[in-house]
Amino acid sequence: MQPESTEQPDSDTVIPYQGWHVIHLFFQIDQTQWAMLSDEEQREAKTSLSEAVQEIRSAESTQLLTFSMVTPKADLGFMLLTDDLHKANEFEKRIGRALGPDMLTPTYSYLSMTELSEYTTTEEQYGETLVEEDIEKDSDEFKEKIAEYNRRIEKYNQDRLYPNMPDWSVFCFYPMSKRRGEVHNWYGEEYETRRKLMAGHARVGRQWAGKIRQLITGSTGLEEYEWGVTLFSHNTQDIKEIVYQMRFDEVTVKYGEFGDFLIGLQLPLDELFRRVGL
């Protein structure tokens, strides 16, 4: 989206025209280094990380989630959402240093941004479906349905750009792209074809409404993949099943490219420290 103003931006901030920056961070703890610290040094290190998390969480337009990662892919996971890229950079560096030198080793990271979907049904498209359902265009019923649709879309867009992340326990993150193969090339398809395919894809996902909270963030030009997908649930099986069922949808069958999946448990800091051996 192009900027609405021609004024020069503040050189001390890098804030998108809409939405937030999102960084997923994953670390291994050097348990040998940790064991060499005295009890007092360990307490100071944990206090340092706790204070960093609390101060980051208190920053304006910022959220920070903490995870104990499942499997040895990583020990600690963090999901940082904030408006300014300078803040995001400062915060992620502070997290990495919080326990002391060489204590946390990055195993994976991902930078993306919250964004709107280009395939969201427009008011005009929704109105056409109402007409197809024999609702007269100038009727009160038509106007009421359009007004309700606009309210719903406004909230949907707000939640995509400025989400309030849940405290649900099970966390899943994976990157993905759309295929550009010789046979199946997503970007070689007409827009209307892509829009209809994505509408069907969304219908599959809505079967897990209330069981899965999802955030899709864009990373074209920022990472190797084009999107980051973050899922939250109360039960691992719901995540397993939604991803499994999605793979039968045409969008995924023909065009889906996936990176590694990382699974974690969202925990408060005191429990997180115990879980990862700090």
* Whole-angstrom distance, CA of residue 217 vs CA of residue 153: 18
Question: Residue 225 catalytic?
Answer: no
Environment class of 144 (CB within 10 Å of its CB; exposed 0-12, middle 13-18, buried 19+): exposed
d(CA 235, CA 216): 20
Alpha-carbon distance values, 254 to 84, 117, 196, 244, 266 (Å):
36, 20, 14, 15, 33
Catalytic residue, candidates 110, 174, 225, 255: 174
Work out the number of other CB atoms within 10 angstroms of the CB of residue 137: 11
Query: How does DSSP assign 11-26, residue by residue?
Result: TT----SSS-EEEEEE
**Calpha distance 149→98 (Å, rounded):** 46
**Residues forming the active site:** 174
